Structure 1
Amino acid sequence: MQRLSSSQLGSEFIDWPVYMRCALDLAVTVINTSPNPRVGCVIVKAGGIVGKGWHVSPGKDHAEIMALKSAGEDAKSSTVFVSLEPCSHIGRTGPCCDALIAAGISRLVIAGIDPNPEISGLGIKKIESAGIEVFYLEDSEAAARKINVGYFKRRETGLPYVRCKLAASIDGRTALSNGVSKWITSAEARADVQLYRAQSSAIITGVETVLSDNPSMNVRFDELNLTAEAKQQNLSLNSIQPLRVILDSNLRTPGTAKILHVDGGIRIYVAKKTIDQELVESKELPDNVELVFAEEESQRVNLHFVLESLALNCECNEVFVEAGPALSAAFLEAGLIDELIVYIAPKLLGSDAKPLFEIAGLQSMSESRNFAVKDLDKVGDDIRVCLIPQK
């Protein structure tokens, strides 16, 4: 495999970054392909694109297969640009490497190596063993990882990528002192949240939120389709509801809670030493609810255990935390949040209203928690700030 940077691209390869950019753009055509990565593919011959493809959902054609079908006979002696190393193993579908070899392609250009141990580097070796040249565009690697930030994190660390969403007034308050929080943010901001939910493998909340707000915590696809970002990207939706996860140490979630009665799976994590079978039976929980007895930490559910479990047992790439100030603070203090999504509404709620996080007071500025601003946008009348916690 030859690794190439933009400075090493001669006249013969001058258009390669353009074709790879096209493959990367195709990769994000579908908002969520979990547990698989999002992948795009472009097939080029005689200076023009003859085939395009992208992965739609697990069990469906991978990007390379869709592109090969699109190209037909033109795939022979072509150059294939794919945003991630082709698979070489039999999973829900057959190996893409075999299909590329059978099609008689001349060259393969990739933007990233698949971190899946069943694939990592093996796809490249298989392609090269068939006499096909393989090139790695180093300058496209960051974009390839960004598209699949959760997939890479799960494969490399055993944990999903964690986003925590918060909504607050300009004085940093999330609800009135009496608990009322509907609505702090605009309808546009609430619709924007649906996009984050839709791209997540799981949505995590706490029992306090279930008891106080009785939310459904599902993706409202009718609202999501109205968002400007969805329209701009022409996103395709699988209409699959993310797994909903409730952290409930003592199983206080009532069997009538809305979150238990919408499409999709439910996991309730409880502290293993605090629940008896009689209590479980008394709840009359729906059949789609799975109780998971988690490791206990100070009589509470161990958050690290929860994330490991979601990655290992549910193959969750990205999870979205929508919880109250106590649970959000617990994730933050445990160092488990990768990205904060904060919607700031242009209103004041007063000093007795509830804060963003329930964290202990600090004595000096050196103790403060710092964040890097990743992104900042206006959504309706609100401001959306994406923040990365600094270690």
Structure 2
Amino acid sequence: MSAAEQRWIPWMRRALQLAALADGHTSPNPLVGAVVLDAAGQLVGEGFHARAGEPHAEVGALAQAGDAARGGTIVVTLEPCCHHGRTPPCADAVIAAGIQRVVVALTDPDPRVAGGGLQRLRDAGLEVISGVLEAEAAYQNRAFVHRVQTGRPWGVLKWAMGLDGRTALSNGASQWISGPPARAWVHQLRAGCDAVIVGGGTVRADDPLLTSRGRCASEPLRVVLSRSLDLPQSAQLWDQTVAPTLVAHGPVAVAAAADEAPASVRLAALQGHGVAVQQLDRCEPEALFPELASRGCNRVLWECGPSLAAAALHQGCVQELAVVIAPKVMGGELARTPLGDLGFTAMDQVVPVSLAAAQNLGRDLLLQGVVGAMPIQDGVTRGTRQ
């Protein structure tokens, strides 16, 4: 990047900060922020994409700038779109505003755009600079980008454990391993996710609520992945006035034991509560993920037991780890650990994790890492908008 282009870095950082204000609210769209500078380089407008169907970041920033945008610069974290989706093309709005320079972090890979927005701006005589803070913008939108590229959401696996790696005592007791600050952080993490997933065993053992405790206006979808549909008749998850719930199951669930309620009765009971039900080809994480992507989920959170967590990791449905380590020693040869058997027999088979962040949450330590390599600066980690 040239010295002339580096002067846009502070403004792009501001645009990224604006984009982050809508974290957890824009799915299936990405996070996008924009700032408008007048011809003298003074800030005259800011905006961010708040949620799908609402104006894009460029439109909001240009509206705030008004006539002061003429002859100026717009700095935006994603290439202005050039197609009609739920909203009109942003490239046309930029041109109509009289902007003379556009500074972009990411180019849009959507075949409807794929650089077409930037080309339309160039054809209109605007100066275009791209790639400014591309790595930061790609990481910020890693969940959206992953869904666009793979057709599956970005999976975050979270657990809390003691210093000896235990997530529960030998008798199953696990409340509370972490302290109040860590639990508050988990609620905020849920607020930034589109769905929270557990297995039937977690529902039976813990009767979880799985909400953000009011930290977001629209609570994430609560998902139960169940092989047998052997679920409690009464559970907090069935209260749809709190948050929506989806129960996903495989074909095996239709075959109930003779001394149990038939699957049809169990499904009817769930639907009577207003719970959505989805049959999958297989009751596996890799079968669930395309369904969640079709529902517009960019980022989902696994809060499940060790067997389901291991299956999700093994099947490529975990891209990020969030591990809370409490300063406690729990012991017990039979005490539960975060993950079930992954079938590894040699150290060169283990899952590599790139540490992304570490911070203290009260007395607890939070470690966050990306499974495999960090999703930045690979030339394709980019986004699109609808």
TM-score by length of 2: 0.88
Query: Which residue in 1 is equivalent to 2:224?
Result: 246
Identity of matched residues, %: 36
- Offset at residue 317 of structure 1 (A): 0.7
Q: Which moved more, 1:377-386 or 1:361-370?
A: 361-370
Residues 170-214 of structure 1: CA distance to partner in whole angstroms, max 9, x if unpaired?
Answer: 111111222221111001000001121111111111111011000
Unmatched 5+ residue regions in structure 1? 225-236
| In 1: Cα distance, 2:342 partner to 2:74 partner | 55
1:333: how far off? 2.0
TM-aligned CA distance change 1:84 to 1:253, over 3 Å: same
Distance in 2 of aligned mates of 1:261 and 1:325: 26
Q: Deviations over 1:231-274 (max 9, x none)?
A: xxxxxx5x111111110012122342111214332221101243
User: Aligned pair in 2 of structure 1 residues 213, 112: CA closer, same or farther (>3 Å)?
Assistant: same
User: CA RMSD for the aligned pairs?
Assistant: 2.0
1:25-174 mapped onto 2 (5 Å cutoff): 25-32=17-24, 33-45=26-38, 46-136=40-130, 138-174=131-167
Aligned CA distance change for structure 1 residues 367 and 100 (closer, same or farther; 3 Å): closer
From 355, 365, 378, the equivalent of 1:383 is: 365
Q: Distance in 2 between matches of 1:390 and 1:16?
A: 31
Among 253, 261, 270, which residue is 2:239 paired with?
261
Cα pair distance change 1:278/1:286, threshold 3 Å: closer
8 A Cα contact 1:261 1:286, kept in partner = no
Partner of 2:320: 339
Given the two structures, how large is their TM-score scaled by the length of structure 1? 0.87
Kept in 2, the 8 Å contact 1:53–1:67? The answer is yes
Inter-partner Cα distance in structure 2 for 1:281 and 1:195: 32
Shift of 1:361: 7.3
The answer on 1:295 being equivalent to 2:281 is yes
Q: Which of 189, 193, 207 is matched with 1:196 structurally? A: 189
Give the AA of the match of 1:331: A
| Cα deviation code 1:44-90 (max 9, x no counterpart) | 12021111111111222211111011101111111111010112222
Seen in structure 2, the aligned counterparts of structure 1 residues 184 and 277 have a Cα distance that, compared at 3 Å, is closer
For residues 70-115 of structure 1, the C-alpha deviation after alignment (integer angstroms, 9 at most, x for no partner) is: 1011111111110101122222222212211211111111000123
AA at the equivalent of 2:177: I
- Alignment CA distance shift 1:106-1:362 (3 Å): closer
- What residue identity is the alignment partner of 1:243? L
Secondary structure, counterpart of 2:328 in structure 1: coil
Corresponding residue number in structure 2 for 1:180 = 173
Alignment partners' CA distance in 2, 1:360 and 1:159: 21
Secondary structure, counterpart of 1:118 in structure 2: coil
Aligned to 1:173, the other structure's residue is in SS state coil
Report the Cα distance in structure 1 between the residues aligned to 2:234 and 2:271, rounded to whole angstroms. 8
Q: Deviations over 1:287-320 (max 9, x none)?
A: 5422111112xxxx12212111111x21211111
Give the letter aligned to residue 294 of structure 1. Answer: L
Counterpart CA distance in 2 for 1:55 and 1:362 is 44
**Alpha-carbon spacing, 1:22–1:283, altered in 2? closer, same or farther (3 Å):** same
Distance (Å, rounded) in 1 between the aligned partners of 2:128 and 2:346:
54
Query: Which of 309, 327, 330 is the matching residue for 2:308?
Result: 327
Distance 1:266 1:119, change over 3 A: farther
**Is contact 1:264–1:288 with CA below 8 Å preserved after alignment?**
no
- Looking at structure 2, the residues matched to 78 and 145 of structure 1 have their Cα atoms a distance apart, in angstroms, of 26
In terms of mean alpha carbon deviation, does 349-358 or 259-268 score higher? 259-268
Match of 2:204 in 1: 211
Q: What one-letter code is carried by the residue in structure 1 that aligns with 2:12?
A: M
- Equivalent position SS for 1:53: strand
Cα shift at 1:20 = 1.4
Choose 250-259 or 151-160, whichever is displaced more: 250-259
How far apart are residue 219 of structure 1 and its match? 1.1
Count of residue pairs brought into register by the alignment:
362
Cα distance change, pair 286–119 in 1 and its aligned pair in 2 (3 A): farther
- Does the aligned pair in 1 maintain the 2:8–2:132 contact within 8 Å? no
Answer yes or no: is the 8 Å Cα contact 2:324–2:366 preserved in 1: yes
Q: Which residue of 1 aligns with 2:336?
A: 354
**Distance of 1:260 and 1:354 partners within structure 2:** 27
Q: Cα 1:325–1:105, aligned 2, differ >3 Å: closer, same or farther? A: same
| CA–CA distance in structure 2, aligned partners of residues 382 and 108 of structure 1 | 44
SS of corresponding position for 2:167: strand
Verify: 1:371 aligned to 2:378, yes or no: no
Moved more, 21-30 or 116-125: 116-125
- Paired with 1:154 and 1:369, the residues of 2 have a C-alpha distance of 21
Of the structure 1 ranges 55-64 and 181-190, higher mean CA displacement relative to structure 2 is found in 55-64
SS at match of 1:375: strand
Q: Which amino acid aligns with 1:189?
A: A
